[in-house]
Structure 1
Amino acid sequence: MKRLLEKLYNQNTLTKEELVYLLQHLDEESMKELFSYSRKLREEKYGKKVYLRGLVEFSNICKQDCLYCGIRKSNKEVERYRLTEDEIIQCCELGYDLGYRTFVLQSGEDSWYTKDKLVNIVKKIKSQFPDVAVTLSLGERDYDTYKELFDAGADRYLLRHETASKRLYEKLHPTMKFENRIKCLAELKEIGYQVGAGFMVGLPDQTVEDLAEDLLFLNHLQPHMIGIGPFIPHHQTPLKNERKGELKDTLIMVALARLLVPDSLIPATTALGSLDYRGREAALEVGANVVMPNLSPMEVRAKYQLYDNKICLGDESASCRWCIENRIKSTGYEVDLSKGDCIRIGENQMNL
């Protein structure tokens, strides 16, 4: 085990067989060694900085029907909403005043927001706040839409692959195709975005081999951002009675992702904080270096629940900002409110 961990730290790669062996044989001692390596590498690349991004969840309307998601198309109990262009800009104004220099615009796959509407929103944000980065998380769109949004000023795009197993992906996403997900990620990299991928840990029927494939996919893709969170059931979905993912397992995946893609920006996800009170802090301590506090209007936050027991639904944006800063400082790290680009920007070396 020690040899594998040293190889991972020094070479940033393992074979599938080595990853499976590592995952099957991690004990407490080797897990501590893994976390020590991932923390060390994170600090070599980014020092003590933790980047804050202001998150705006601007629509919970979605045309897809993913089995695990609380805002899936078939969930008729969700109170749906859309923010107007002005409301989105107001969220960014509030965030800018609080010091944020990256805004993450996230929604369900809502076709009401056409290419032209989205381009206009991005242009207005970049015109009003020329020193910010705009990150989009809008799901699957066509190449022309991705390209025009990039040309309008969008800097980054988050599109988690969710699972690198075609079998598992299409079981969980009955309205989607695995090949199209991979195609979208390739197109985003080709266009020039800083691209984010990632997956869930603890999905029903997920195997150790599946998790190894997720890690290998990240190692091959070399995304600029990696989002990894635990599966948490939502009570209005077909998976409502399934067992949730474990904190320890998710932290192991965060640490391995750091070692396999050393330059990546890795969020300490809200889902980890929802799973465990110190979940986000624990992720920072094993390799994560981004946190995304919520800037969405208070009246819509509870309507954007992809899973149960989501935290920070009742916190004002300013309160959330200072709360998370104190939490970050408690881990020995420091808040960085700059745009916080991946130190590897400009490289699109992956061909899918």
Structure 2
Amino acid sequence: MNRQEIISCLKQTEPAELKKLWDSADRVRAENVGQAVHLRGLVEFSNICGRKCRYCGINAANTKVRRYQMSKAEILDSAQTARKLGYGTVVLQSGENRKLDVYFLAETIKEIKQTIGLAVTLSLGQWDREVYQLWKHAGADRFLLRFETGDDELYRRLHPDSKTGVAERFDALRLLKELGYEVGSGVMIGLPGQSYQSLADDLLKFKQLELDMIGAGPYIKHQDTQLGKDIEKFLLDAKEQVPATEEMTYKVIALARLLCPQANIPATTALATLNPKQGREQGLCCGANIVMPNVTPVKYRQMYEIYPAKACIAESAETCNACMLKRIESIGRYVGSGRGDSPGFLNRAQMGVGL
């Protein structure tokens, strides 16, 4: 699939043609990663961040945010909850906090691996090789680092504190793969200033990077961010601007599946925020095979507001899990067991490539 074909799919509006796209992606998903939906327990252990990304509600410039960091005991308790609910992975996520005690996190990772027995995914932003290596040696299995947009000009506008532009993300992703992590990345869909051409290039970049995990969710405006306040200054002409819609998100999930058949692709919380009734289910029918239920203590969830009105911030982990099981069963799928590593990563591991 070339750039122009991808752009045509992104601009497609005919229901019959879109159904063909959904069905093709769903078939490729079934052939490559099966019918299982793997659940990852998400722990948002801190909202402290030193970056000033203009789209994110917890960026350092937002003084309205009440900052927090969970204790090791709280993180371990959340991981234990994930284990009890049958999840094979816990995702430790926070803002990019340079004041984070990296050894504290390494010890926490070790305890999760040794006493709870879950795979550990990290989503903590950009760090130096030595820190990535420390966490890998502690037992971390995967790392998620979105590049958000491959359009360097737009990336720099959205990340005013970036010194090297989007290259900083691509360099980090290559380093993570070199260190043996299972590596994930992704983009926001409908970012103000995002063109169809640049989004098509992002999809091709997924393939070029040979990503093990691909996250793609819609941009949701946060009123207390610079982008949220100045959105009109970023928007392109209506014919060129990618819309931040539910349908566009399904298109990107489907195209990502067709381009990267063996990747793990989540139906994101942002999608469920746009459509609480069926957003995740539809995403799973368009090529996705992962869901990340939130196991963060409820008292912290409202403070991790990267965008407003996030789905599932008031329900307990147990309530969310019961709901998710019913939703997955309703589309004829089942919850997977074990770690749920991507086939692409396992194939590379067997051949010793990039590890």
Does 1:196 find its partner at 2:195? no
Cα deviations across residues 48-79 of structure 1 (Å, max 9, x unaligned)? 11000100000001000111100010100011
Aligned to 1:11: none
Once the two structures are superposed, residues 197-232 of structure 1 have per-residue CA deviations (whole angstroms, 9 ceiling, x without a partner) of 100111101100011111010010111000000000
Residue equivalent to 1:71 = 58
For normalisation by structure 1, the TM-score amounts to 0.92
Supply the AA of the counterpart residue of 1:72.
Answer: N
Q: TM-score, normalised by structure 2?
A: 0.91
1:310-325 matches, cutoff 5 A: 310-325=310-325
Report SS of the residue matched to 2:43: strand
2:42 match: secondary structure: strand
Paired position in structure 2 for 1:80: 67
User: Which stretch shifts more, 337-346 or 29-38?
Assistant: 337-346
Distance 1:203 1:306 in 2: 14
Instruction: Please state if 1:163 is matched with 2:162.
Output: no
> Percent identity at matched positions?
42
CA RMSD of aligned residues (A): 1.7
Output aligned runs, 1:99-248, within 5 Å: 99-130=86-117, 132-176=118-162, 177-240=165-228, 242=231, 245-248=244-247
Structure 1: which 5+ runs fail to align?
1-13
Q: Which amino acid in 2 is paired with 1:35? A: W
Q: Which residue of 2 is the match for residue 250 of structure 1? A: 249
CA contact (8 A) 2:12 2:18 kept: no
What is the CA–CA distance in structure 2 between the aligned matches of 1:331 and 1:39, rounded to whole Å? 12
How many Å apart are 1:19 and its aligned residue? 2.1
| Deviation of 1:40 (Å) | 0.3
The DSSP-based 3-state class of the residue aligned with 1:240 is helix
> Take 2:308 and 2:86, find their aligned partners in 1: how far apart are those partners?
30
Residue identity in the other structure for 1:121 = T
Is the 1:49–1:334 contact (alpha carbons within 8 Å) kept by the matching residues of 2? Answer: yes
| 1:50 and 2:37 aligned | yes
Closer, same or farther: CA 350–246 of 1 in aligned 2, 3 Å: farther
Match of 1:239, SS state, is helix
Deviates more, 1:218-227 or 1:28-37: 28-37
> Partners of 1:25 and 1:82 in 2: how far apart?
44
Could you say what secondary structure the match of 1:197 adopts?
A: strand
SS of the residue corresponding to residue 103 of structure 1 reads strand
Further displaced range: 179-188 or 233-242 = 233-242
Instruction: Determine the structure 2 residue equivalent to 1:5.
Output: none
Q: What CA distance in whole angstroms lies between the structure 1 residues aligned with 2:206 and 2:200?
A: 10
Q: Structure 2 counterpart of 1:69, which letter?
A: C
Aligned equivalents of 1:166, 1:267: Cα separation in 2: 25
1:23 match: 10
In 2, the alpha carbon distance for the partners of 1:231 and 1:189 equals 27
